[in-house]
Structure 1
Amino acid sequence: MSSSPAARRELSYSWGYLFFDEPPLSVEKAWRLVQSSRFGKTLILVGDVVSKSFRERGLGDFFIVDGHTRRNLKVEDLPGKAEAFTCKNRPGEISRECYELLRNLLTSAIGRGKKIVVYVEGEEDLLSLVALLYCPLNDSWVIYGNFRGYLEVIPCTSFFRSVAENLLVKHFEKD
């Protein structure tokens, strides 16, 4: 699915809780929020810097990374015993391959106590929408770095799931 100009405009708005601090302070604040909430503690992390920052503190359950960062950081030390998967996704798109893989993993594999890493050949940015659409409802959080440099922390609720679904249905062109 290719993104439309309207989708890119709407995606530039922030959702959920925002943390403007650099890591590790942003990670610590986000984790305090998660710990104090009534939602679950499962963390779905989208992006290399976010995944690395949370992993350095022993946090994270599901990682979606592409190996490219604006800060030229190399993401290493993701969970060694994690189940690893790969899919291809071009910039500005959500490929059918990645969409199906994430849907299947988020609806069946997450929560089995095993860490999961999805390595994206291409770009992972828009896959946060798929993560929000299929995250375990009221039991998880989707966390990613906004292109403006801050951390977005979104509880997996029916409200945010409907926002993601509306964006996908209304603003992405089917390939």
Structure 2
Amino acid sequence: LSEREEKNIGSMVVPILEGSKVFLLEVQSLITDCTIGIPKRVVQGYDRNRIQILTAIAEKKMYIPLGAKDLFVNVPGGLGINDPAADLAVLMSILSVYKGFSISQKIAAIGELGLRGEIRKVFFLDKRLKELEKLGFSGVYVPEANKKEVEKKKYKLKLIYLKNLDDLLERMKKNE
């Protein structure tokens, strides 16, 4: 993570849980025009089927036409992500490339996506937020479903609550 630039297009950090440990991993995405009839989905370090689901959600709920584009998703460092709480970070890295907006390296995202576009509650959020604080992050996108448990504690992080993808689109419009 130390090699990331201050503003990044197509890059997002997610705190994932492996056993009882929290690891911060970067997700990188790249979108290109499809030059051959069938678009490619090249994925390293993340579940390829999950990418298909996330792109379908983006198309159906956010009206972002990714079906005719080549999509490349990578988790640098040779590690793999199996934590469903990484969905939001992966989708945000893809949207960042598609929309051409940069994301601060001090911002992370946590949230599992449902097929209806809802951002679902994640487990062990407190542990994840403490790790982000420890490593100097300033903000994090989190599910609104976790709000009650998080409000009871004080964090240095700016918590940006999202209920669904409509909330995410609204935030993106404000940052354009």
Which bin holds the TM-score, normalised by the shorter protein?
A: under 0.3
TM-score by length of 1: 0.25
TM-score by length of 2: 0.25
Bigger relative contact order (CA 8 A; separation at least 6)? 1
